[in-house]
Amino acid sequence: MKDHLKENIRFVMKTEMLSGDGIARELPKYLKNYAWNRIGLVVDKGVYDHCPYVKEIIGICQKELEHVTLFVNEMPEPTYDHLDQSKAGFQDVALDCFVGIGGGSTLDLTKGLATLKTNEGAAINYRGFGKVKNMPLPVVALPTTAGTGSEVTPYAVFIDTAAKWKFGINTEYNYPRLAVYDPQFLSSCPMKVFASAGMDAMTHTLESFVARNATFISRMFSRQAFKLLFENLNKLAQGDMSTPVKLNLLIGSGCAGAALMNAGAGPAGALSYPLGVYFDIPHGLAGSVFLPGVIKHNVAHEYYEYAELYDLVSDGHGLSPKEKSIKFADAIEALSHALGIPTDLKGFGVKTESDLMLIVDNSAQLKAAFDQNPVKFGQDEIKAVVFSLR
C-alpha cells in the first residue's frame, strides 16, 4: 500500500450518489436540478420484461420530462458492433443526458452511447485510453444488480469481435454524474444473478484492498464495502432478500467500485476476461470463481493483511495475523459455496487441458492487474491457480 505520508496519492470520486427505497420515483426532480429534460433512456431487456418497477419509472419520466427516447438493450455482453447499431435510434434527437437502468453491461452501453452522441464515427475508433475528444453527454446510472460498480467508474467495456477480446473506451470524461441506488430495482433479480454480482463486488473490494497501489483513502472504501458485502451476502445466502440487504449490497458494491478504480484490480478480476471472451461466462460469475484461489495463494506466500478485514467481521481475539488470514480465506470460500457460486471451472465448460491453457495463455495482456497483487503473480502462479480449479 502507498504511504500517504511519504508518497503523493490521488483519489477520484466524481459521482453524486443517491440512495433510498423508491428514490428512483424522484428521478425527474434530480435530473431537472441539472436542467436535463430530454433523455436517452437505456434499459436492460431482462429488467424491462420482469421488473414492473422499471416500467413505472419509465412512465414517470415520460410524464414529467420533456422528452424520452427509450432503447431496450437485449445484448448481455455488448460488442463494439452492437454499440454502433444501438446508437441509430438516438442520432436525430436532441438530448441533454443519457440514463441507464440495468446491470454493468447496460450501464457500460449507456456510457458508450453518451460518447458517440458527441463523437463521430465508429465506436471502435474510441477503443483504448484518451481517444475521446469531445465531452460526452452526462450519464446517470441506476444499477439493477449490486455488483459491477459501473455506476461510479468511467470504464465502458465492449467485446472487440475481430480481436476476440474485451477492451474499454476509457476516458476521464465518462464518470457518471449521478448514481441512484434503489433496492426496488432488485425485486426481480434472480438469486443466481444476485449472488454472482455480489461476489463480483466482493472481488473488487478485496483486490483493491490488497493492491500495491491501494492508498489510505481507497482502503476506507474497501474496508466499508467489505463489511457491507460480507455481512449482507451471508444474509442473502440464508435466503434474506429484504430491502435492507439489497440497499446495503448496492451501496457496498458502489464503494467497492470506487475503491477498485482508485487502487487497481487484481488477478481474480483479470482472469475473468478470458473466461468471458472464450467461454461466454458473465463477468460477475467469472471473477468470483478465482477469488478464493487467489486469496489462498497470497496467504500461503505469507501475506497476512487480510487479518484487518477478518477483525471487521469476526472476533479474532488471541489469533495471530497468519491465523486470521487463513480463517479469512476459508470464510470467503465458504461464502462462495453458500451462495452457490461454482467453485471449479468444469461448470463453465472449461474441461480440457487446452481450455485451461487458453485462459493461461491469454492472460499475458493483463499483466498490469497481476502486478498489483501483493505477492508475485507471474505465469507460473496463473497456471497454478487456473489448474487448481479444473
Q: Cα angle at 49 between 236 and 249, to 5 degrees? A: 25
Partners of 141 in beta bridges: 100, 179
Helix (H) or strand (E) holding 158: strand 156-160
Which is closer to Fe ion, CB of 114 or CB of 206?
206
CB of residue 117 to Fe ion, shortest distance in Å: 26
CB of residue 288 to Fe ion, shortest distance in Å: 9
Which is closer to Fe ion, CB of 44 or CB of 200?
200
- The three state secondary structure string of 262-303 is HHCCCHHHHHHHHHHHHHCCCHHHHHHCCHHHHHHHHHHCCC
Size of the site for Fe ion (CB under 5 A): 2
Partners of 173 in beta bridges: none
CB of residue 99 to Fe ion, shortest distance in Å: 22
Which is closer to Fe ion, CB of 138 or CB of 269?
269
The letter for the amino acid at 283 is: H
Residue from 44, 200, 207, 381 touching Fe ion (CB under 5 A): that is 200
Any idea how long the chain is? 390
Which is closer to Fe ion, CB of 51 or CB of 259?
259
CB of residue 28 to Fe ion, shortest distance in Å: 31
CB of residue 317 to Fe ion, shortest distance in Å: 34
Sheet with 97-102: strands ordered across: 16-19, 178-181, 139-143, 97-102, 38-44, 67-73
Task: Choose the binding region for Fe ion from 17-25, 47-55, 173-181, 192-200 (rule: CB under 5 A).
Answer: 192-200
Query: Under rule CB under 5 A, which residues in 217-276 are in contact with Fe ion?
Result: none
CB of residue 172 to Fe ion, shortest distance in Å: 20
Q: Provide Rg for the chain, Cα atoms.
A: 20
Task: Choose the binding region for Fe ion from 3-11, 92-100, 194-202, 216-224 (rule: CB under 5 A).
Answer: 194-202
CB of residue 229 to Fe ion, shortest distance in Å: 13
Task: Choose the binding region for Fe ion from 196-204, 231-239, 337-345, 364-372 (rule: CB under 5 A).
Answer: 196-204
CB of residue 217 to Fe ion, shortest distance in Å: 21
CB of residue 147 to Fe ion, shortest distance in Å: 7
Which is closer to Fe ion, CB of 307 or CB of 386?
386
Which is closer to Fe ion, CB of 31 or CB of 285?
285
Which is closer to Fe ion, CB of 36 or CB of 155?
155
Burial of 84 (0-12, 13-18, 19+ CB in 10 A): middle
d(CA 191, CA 196): 9
Grid cell 490488497 is found at 210
Neighbour tally for 154: CB within 10 Å? 22
d(CA 58, CA 70): 9
Which is closer to Fe ion, CB of 31 or CB of 385?
385
CB of residue 53 to Fe ion, shortest distance in Å: 25
C-alpha neighbours within 13 Å on the C-beta side of residue 36: 23
Which is closer to Fe ion, CB of 119 or CB of 372?
372
Helix (H) or strand (E) holding 123: none
DSSP-assigned letter for residue 79? B
Grid cell 449490486 is found at 146
Task: Choose the binding region for Fe ion from 40-48, 112-120, 199-207, 323-331 (rule: CB under 5 A).
Answer: 199-207
Contacts with Fe ion, 267-296, as mask; x by CB under 5 A: --------------------x---------
Q: Is 151 in the site for Fe ion (CB under 5 A)?
A: no
Which is closer to Fe ion, CB of 24 or CB of 199?
199
Grid cell at residue 154: 468511467
> Is 361:320 a contact under the CB 8 Å cutoff?
no
Grid cell 434530480 is found at 30
Task: Choose the binding region for Fe ion from 74-82, 198-206, 251-259, 356-364 (rule: CB under 5 A).
Answer: 198-206
C-alpha neighbours within 13 Å on the C-beta side of residue 112: 34
Q: Please provide the DSSP assignment of 11-54 as one string.
A: -----EEEE-TTGGGGHHHHHHHTT--EEEEEEEHHHHHH-HHH
Instruction: Using CB under 5 A, list all residues that contact Fe ion.
Output: 200, 287
